[in-house]
Amino acid sequence: MEREKHPGDLFKGAFILTIAALFIKILSAVYRVPFQNIVGDVGFYIYQQVYPFYGVALVLSTYGFPVVISKLYAEQVFLKGKNGIQNLFVVSAFILIILGFTGFAILFWGADWLAAQMDDPQLAILLRVVSIVFLLFPIVSLLRGYFQGKGNMVPTAVSQVFEQLFRVLTIFLAAWLLTKKGHSLYIVGGGAVFGAVTGGIVAVVILITFLWMKRKKTPLKICLDFKEGKKIAKALIIQGFAVCVSSLLLIFIQMADSLNLYSLLVTSGFNSLEAKELKGIYDRGQPLIQLGIVVATSMSLSLVPLITSEKATGKTEFLHDKIRVALQIGIFVGVAATVGLWNIIKPTNVMLFENSNGSAVLSVLSILILLSSVIITTTAVLQGLGLILFPAFVILCGFGMKYMMNILLVPMYGTMGAAVASCITLCLIMLILLFKLGLYLKISIMNIRFLAVICMAALFMAIALKTYLHLTGFLAGGGHDRLFAGFQALSAVLIGGFSYLWIVLKGNIFKEEELAMLPFGSKLSLLLPKKNRSWKIK
C-alpha cells in the first residue's frame, strides 16, 4: 500500500514545484537578451523561428502529461492498488511513445517541408535538431508523473531546473564558440537549439538516478487490464490534450508568427535580410512579455488550489471571493507591467538590445502582458472549477485566428500588423473565457470601482513616467547611450511602480488580507487608509 500523503507534504511539494517553475520561467525570459546581443537580430530571428516547436515539447513534458499522470496515479492507487499503477504506466508509456515518435517524425522527415512553409529552407537543420527532444519527452513525462503521483516533487523540480540550466549553458557556449569561429548564423542557431537536446538528456539522467535510488527489489509483474486500459488511455489523451493546449497560449502565438510572418514580409516587398532583421527585432518582445507574465500570474495562480478545494466543499461565497481576488491580482499586476513597459520601452530597448529599433512595435506587444495574465488566470480558474476542455478549445482556435489575422494585417502594416493581430486574438480569447466564467458562476466577476481605480492609477503612472523621461532626456543630450538608458529605465520602474501603487492603495480596492498575498504585502498595508488597517497588539 502507498503511504498516505500528509497535507503538509502536498503543500511542501506544491511550493517546491512553484519555486522551480518561477526560476525556469525567469531564466527562460532572461537568457534571450544576452543571446540576442551575441548573435544580433538575424541570429535571434533564426533561433526564434524554431523555438515554438521546442516549446511544445517542453510544455508536454513539464505542464501537461506529468500533471495528468500524477492525477491518474492517485486514482489508480485508490481504486486498483499496485495492479492499477502498473496498468497506468504501461498504457501511459505506450501512448507517450506514439506521441513522441509522431512529433519526431513530423519535425525530422518533414523539416524541409516546414522550412519551405516558413520560406526559409536553411531552417530545416534546426528543425531536425529540435525533433530529437520529442524522443526524450516520453521518458521525462512518465518519470515526472510517477514521482509527482507519489507526492515526491523533488525529482521533478531538480530535473526541470537542471534541464534549463544546461540548455542555457549550451546556448551561450554554442553562440560564443561558433560565432568566434566565423560560422554562419544558421550553424550558430543549430548549436543553440542543440541546448534543448542536452537539457533533455540531463533531465532523463537525473530522473533515472532518482528512480534507481528509490528502487525496490520486488519484481515487476505486468498485468494489463484492457478494459481499464482503455479508460486510462481516454483520460490521458483528453485531459493531457486540454492541459497542454491551455499551457500553449503564447507558444501558439509565436508559432503562427514563425509560420507566416517572415514570408509575408518578403512578399510585401522587403528583401530577405531586411525581413529577417524585422522579425528578429519583433521577437525582442518575447522575453519582455514572458517576464511580465511571470510576475503577473505567479501571485494570482497561487489562489487556484484554494478555488479547487473550496468547490468541493460547496462554500459558494468563499469560492466566488477567491476567484474575484485571483482575477483582480492578475489585472492589478498586468496593467502595471503593460502600462509601465509601454511608457519606458525606448530606454528599455536600448538597455537590453543596444538600440531603439522597433520600439513602437514592442510597445504594442506589451499589451500582451495584461491580456495573457488575465487569460492564464481565467483558464486556471475554469480548470479548477472542472471546465477543462472549453479553454483548451478556445486557445486552439486562437492559433488559427492569429495565423489568419497575420495574413490580413502584415502586408499592410508589417510587424506592427503582426503585433496588432496578436493583441486582437488574445483580447477575443480573454473576453470569451471571462464570459464563460461569468455564465458558470452566474454573478458579476468584475467590480466597476476596482476597474476605475486601476485605470486612474495607470493614467497617473503614465503621466509620471512621461514627465520623468522627458526631464531626464535632456541629460542624455539627445543621444542613445546604453548605460544612461539603463539608468533611465530602471529608475523609471521605481517611480512608475510607486506612483501606481500609491493610487491603487489609496483607492482602497484591496483588503489587508488580500495585500498579504503580494510581495512585501505587510509593508504595503501601511499605505492603506487608517480605517482599513487591522493592527494587532502583541
Alpha-helical runs (H) found in 31-153 = 32-59, 65-79, 82-109, 111-117, 124-131, 133-149
pLDDT, tens digit, for every residue of 299-325?
Answer: 655 666 666 666 666 677 777 888 888
Instruction: Return the biggest CA–CA distance within the chain.
Output: 77
pLDDT grade, residue 153 (50/70/90)? confident
Worst-scoring range by mean pLDDT, 135-139, 443-447, 533-537? 533-537
* Distance from C-alpha of 460 to C-alpha of 336, rounded to nearest angstrom: 11
pLDDT grade, residue 329 (50/70/90)? confident
pLDDT grade, residue 262 (50/70/90)? very high
pLDDT grade, residue 292 (50/70/90)? confident
* Distance from C-alpha of 248 to C-alpha of 59, rounded to nearest angstrom: 7
The percent of residues above 70 in pLDDT, for the chain, comes to 84
Alpha carbon distances (Å) from 15 to 21, 154, 157, 474? 10, 10, 10, 47
Q: Which residue did the predictor score with more confidence, 148 or 43?
A: 43
Q: What is the mean pLDDT of residues 118-129?
A: 94
Q: What is the mean pLDDT of residues 501-524?
A: 70
The pLDDT of residue 1: 40
Q: What is the mean pLDDT of residues 241-246?
A: 85
Mean pLDDT of the chain: 85
* Distance from C-alpha of 31 to C-alpha of 13, rounded to nearest angstrom: 27
pLDDT grade, residue 3 (50/70/90)? very low
- Residues 6 or more apart whose CB falls under 8 angstroms from that of 278 comprise 265, 270, 358, 414, 415
Chain centre distance of CA 48: 15
DSSP string, 361-418: HHHHHTHHHHHHHHHHHHHHHHHHTT--HHHHHHHHHHHHHHHHHHHHHHHHHTHHHH
The pLDDT of residue 4: 44
Q: What is the mean pLDDT of residues 278-302?
A: 81
The pLDDT of residue 87: 81
pLDDT, tens digit, for every residue of 344-372?
Answer: 999 999 999 989 999 999 999 999 999 99
| Angle 439-443-449 from CA coordinates, rounded to 5° | 125
The pLDDT of residue 400: 95
pLDDT over 90 (residue 424): yes
pTM for the predicted model, two decimal places = 0.88
Q: What share of the chain is helix, strand, coil (3-state, %, to 5)?
A: 85, 0, 15
The pLDDT of residue 304: 63
pLDDT over 70 (residue 388): yes
Worst-scoring range by mean pLDDT, 295-309, 432-446, 480-494? 295-309
Residue whose C-alpha is closest to residue 137's, from 101, 89, 100: 100
DSSP 445: -
Instruction: Give, to the nearest 10 degrees, the angle between helix 154-180 and helix 32-59.
Output: 130
* Distance from C-alpha of 158 to C-alpha of 208, rounded to nearest angstrom: 12
pLDDT, tens digit, for every residue of 213-230?
Answer: 876 655 555 556 677 778
Worst-scoring range by mean pLDDT, 277-291, 308-322, 403-417, 459-473? 308-322
Place of cell 468547490: 311
Q: What is the mean pLDDT of residues 281-302?
A: 80
The pLDDT of residue 309: 65
pLDDT grade, residue 20 (50/70/90)? confident
Cell of residue 381, nine digits: 480558474
| 3-state DSSP assignment of residue 33 | helix
Q: What is the mean pLDDT of residues 125-154?
A: 91
The pLDDT of residue 536: 41
- Residues 6 or more apart whose CB falls under 8 angstroms from that of 156 comprise 17, 20, 66, 144, 147, 148
pLDDT grade, residue 538 (50/70/90)? very low
Worst-scoring range by mean pLDDT, 14-18, 87-91, 533-537? 533-537
Residue pair 266/272 in contact (Cβ under 8 Å)? The answer is yes
Worst-scoring range by mean pLDDT, 19-23, 86-90, 141-145, 238-242? 19-23
Three-class DSSP labels, 398-413: HHHHHHHHHHHHHHHH
Worst-scoring range by mean pLDDT, 132-136, 273-277, 323-327, 478-482? 478-482
